[in-house]
Structure 1
Amino acid sequence: MRTNLGVAMVCMINATAVQQQHQHLSPEISLVPLNEPTQNSQCQRIIVNETHSIKSGYKGTFTWTTEEQSLLFTASFYGNLLSLAFAGFLINRFGSKKVALISAVGMSLTTALMPTAAYLGVYYFFAVKIIFGIFENPIYAALATPLSLWFPPNERSTAASFFTSGSPLASSLGTLISTTLCSSNFLDGWPLIFYFMSLATIVWILIWVLFFANNPKHCRSLSLKEKEYLSKENEAHSHPDGEEKVGF
């Protein structure tokens, strides 16, 4: 969900209009076709084949400047900073399951609102992205914390490698899906990226609620033998009061 804006932005922005605005602001930069040789050392601006751009489905409607686009890309990180200080406290207080659930619900809702916010204006979009970042940050700690409870010490590094490999794999798959949706004519294409990611998160929420437990003790599908094994293996590494604490 963090990377979907990178693909969607290509479809959202009218690059030709933005280029013309920049050309108006910098008249000393001339436009030349790709196949026309230049006779001087002046830096030339390349003309993109607009017809090909339209056929590819990448002709957007927004004329946001490059500065505004950069602002949108950084917005979620501002939200991350706002929730960074109390993410660990929330997990210690309410448990990983509840924190991850609330974070995922918030991320799903804000992602679904992003197309509407974009049509309202760039700063509405910026505000929604900040809220998205607030919900996004706690989920990483909430997903990582159970590793110390569900796996014995000698298996945690392997479990962590599987856990961290999921993010780049999801980014690659998400990019492939997003580019396909981006070229669609339905709803201008790019809003489908956000709606799809929102729906995918809802599916993840259902799986999380049905099958996840904060620790092996609360898991109904785990056998008594497995619970005793995990309890014995993790006993020497657990917190004195029996609860794993997440630092700030």
Structure 2
Amino acid sequence: MQDPSPAAPTGTAADTGTQRKSKRSQVRWLMVILVAVATAIAYIDRANLSVASDFMQDDLQFSNELKGVMLSSFFWTYAIFQLPGGWLVDRFGPRALYAIAVVWWSIGTAATALTRGIGGVIGCRLGLGIGEAPVQSANARVVSEWFPRRERAFASSIFDTGSEFGSALSVPLVTALIALVGWRGSFVATGALGLVWVVVWLLVYRSPRKHKWANQSEVDYIEQGGGRTEEKELEDGGKQPMKWRDLFRYSTTWALVAGYTCRGVIIYFFITWYPDFLINQQGFSMLQLGLFGAIPGLAAMVANWLGGLFSDWLVRRGTRIELARKIPLVVGMLGASTIALASVAQSPLVAMTCLTVSYCSAAVATGALLSLPADVAPTPRNVASLTGVQNFGSQLGGIIGPIAIGFLLGTGQFAYVWPLVFAGAMCVLGALTYAFLVQVKPLDEQKPMFSRA
């Protein structure tokens, strides 16, 4: 695709009037929908295992302890490769890295069908983790380039909606696929989704100034509203990117990791142990799981949008950016702690209500949370790197949570008391971290914790 023609000079009143009448294109919303779809596919592929695990457990014969390790294994490589993944997105751009990543993880998902033991499953999950590692960083980079600050939290909510939609859809979708083609066939079918997406992505995605569908009015709207395009910042005498290792000199960077670790515990409960809780604790049948299991995820999608709109509304009305991000973050994390109440629910309805409130509350925090890297990054080419660092924390939660739940899991009517109390406590700790330890301003305007080596 060719670059759009440069805008005509705007020095005259007539020219200015013409610009005012020019209808702004809306290509930025197509870009965020594209990454939302990719995120949904990623979550379907990673959540496939949690739905299929009971069938696999019968077939491959492994214990609950090994099941927890298997469910956690994706996050080992996913966490580690967050760090180089974000750097690679900043180095080569989201278009190329996204395509490579989706092809990689789609093959890894489909390959699970060929495994003959738990070791093979774990190997495929490790490969899946490597492939999906750059996703969040690429998403954040796309939003930072394509959206002004006043729309950034809502745009982040839209792409993250893919995670709730993917998690929710994975339950009925994979359940139906298993019924039709078995658990092995379900991995092949979900792996094929990503390859279709890659074709569309390569045909459609370009940066704002290089996209022939985005007119000058939209490009100006993005850049003048704080969209972090490299071209604009270079024209304005922008700074050189901060070295990757220097990001860790600031306490805010470490607080982003800690806060996301806490949130990761509860989010990944819904991706790993959630079907087991409904089946073995609440007595759901597979049919009931397929019919009702998607309720918290679907409700969280709406809560996600509302949280992002609320944060952006605060920005538009002149609220300090720090408060506009922290209010939904802190309120959402505190509300998510209600997951602990599900552990003592006396009926499936009460349990599902508690889980839905918890998941929705965590979703309210999402738009503000995912806007933080763009808000605190010193340059556009640090956004993806800082997102990768932040998302590393989420994956620590993904590693810690499933294993801790597996070992804390009791027996009998209240088997999930300690696991869900643990998850609720992590939510409270996360709220305190965002309230008191995160500073929402560029890192180079903050006082570093450590001097340069």
For the aligned pair, the TM-score class normalised by the smaller chain equals: 0.7 to 0.9
Change in CA separation of 1:181 and 1:3 when aligned onto 2, cut-off 3 Å: same
1:176 corresponds, among 172, 177, 186, to 172
Which residue is 2:193 aligned to?
Answer: 200
In structure 1, stretches of 5+ residues that fail to align are: 15-60
Which residue is 2:160 aligned to?
Answer: 164
Change in CA separation of 1:235 and 1:144 when aligned onto 2, cut-off 3 Å: closer
Cα distance per residue 1:200-243 (max 9 Å; x no partner): 11122122111112x20121211222223323323689751584
Which structure shows the bigger proportion of residues in helix conformation? 2
Whole-angstrom distance in 2 between the partners of 1:62 and 1:235: 50
Deviation at 1:198, TM superposition (A): 0.8
Cα distance per residue 1:20-72 (max 9 Å; x no partner): xxxxxxxxxxxxxxxxxxxxxxxxxxxxxxxxxxxxxxxxx221222222221
Residue 134 (str. 1) matches residue 130 (str. 2): yes
Identical residues among aligned pairs (%) = 26
What is the TM-score normalised by the length of structure 1?
0.73
Change in CA separation of 1:81 and 1:170 when aligned onto 2, cut-off 3 Å: closer
Which residue is 1:122 aligned to?
Answer: 118
Whole-angstrom distance in 2 between the partners of 1:207 and 1:125: 30
Alignment of 1:28-107 (within 5 A): 61-107=59-105
Which residue is 2:203 aligned to?
Answer: 210
Q: Is the 8 A contact 1:100 1:143 kept in 2?
A: no
Residue 230 (str. 1) matches residue 218 (str. 2): no
Whole-angstrom distance in 1 between the partners of 2:187 and 2:98: 20
1:245 corresponds, among 357, 382, 387, to 382
Which residue is 1:146 aligned to?
Answer: 142
Q: CA RMSD in A?
A: 2.0
What is the TM-score normalised by the length of structure 2?
0.41
Which residue identity does 2:203 align to in structure 1? L
Change in CA separation of 1:230 and 1:115 when aligned onto 2, cut-off 3 Å: same
Alignment of 1:8-27 (within 5 A): 8-14=52-58
Which residue identity does 2:382 align to in structure 1? K
Q: Say which SS state the counterpart of residue 187 (structure 2) adopts.
A: helix
Deviation at 1:87, TM superposition (A): 1.7
Deviation at 1:10, TM superposition (A): 1.9
Q: Is the 8 A contact 2:55 2:183 kept in 1?
A: yes
Deviation at 1:177, TM superposition (A): 0.9
Whole-angstrom distance in 1 between the partners of 2:221 and 2:64: 56
Whole-angstrom distance in 2 between the partners of 1:177 and 1:235: 37
Whole-angstrom distance in 2 between the partners of 1:70 and 1:76: 11
Q: Say which SS state the counterpart of residue 225 (structure 2) adopts.
A: helix
Q: Say which SS state the counterpart of residue 85 (structure 1) adopts.
A: helix
Which residue identity does 1:206 align to in structure 2? V
